[in-house]
Amino acid sequence: MNVNEQHPYRAFTLAAALFALPLAMLLFETVTVWLRKQSGLWLERTTEGITPSANWTDGTVWFVITVLALFALLLGGGLGKLARNKMMRRRFRYILFLCGAAACAASFLAAVLLGVLGEAALGGHAQTAVFYYTAAIGMLAALLLPKQLTRAPEQTITFHKPKR
């Protein structure tokens, strides 16, 4: 694989591993608090306005987020390896493929967490979490996958003297 940059999938892999979960949580808070006018995970809508939620001090919430962050590292690394192995470019079909792979992996993870920790661990938001994680992966893929790739080797151009 011969591309303009040295490691074309490093940016997507790091972003999927480190920033997909915070981006998904930011999307959830934005939609819940500002569009649906309800209380979110980190912000509450009260009569005084928008205030920080009591979840900031809840140890269970931080435990679940830590577990999700550890699994997000694994999922992001796997999605980056998948993109590299299939030589994905910044095309809509590849973005949809990565979103589907992320949705399947996140659904499996949610099912495992619901089985191990119980229904209260994700607060009844398992499908919502899968949706926002998939949306975050789609955004990161649309921004960070390489635009073009080629497998052609570098060929030097040599000029030969014409024969008489």
Note the pLDDT of residue 119.
Answer: 79
Phi, psi of 64 (to 5 degrees): -65, -40
How far is residue 41's CA from residue 121's CA, in Å, rounded to a whole number?
A: 13
User: How does DSSP classify residue 144?
Assistant: H
Question: Does residue 122 surpass a pLDDT of 60?
Answer: yes
Region class of 123: left (phi > 0), else alpha (psi between -120 and 50), else beta: left
How far are the Cα atoms of 1, 16, 162 from residue 74, in angstroms, in the given order? 25, 9, 59
pLDDT in tens, 12-57: 999 999 999 999 999 999 999 989 888 888 888 888 888 888 888 8
pLDDT in tens, 101-121: 999 999 999 899 888 888 777
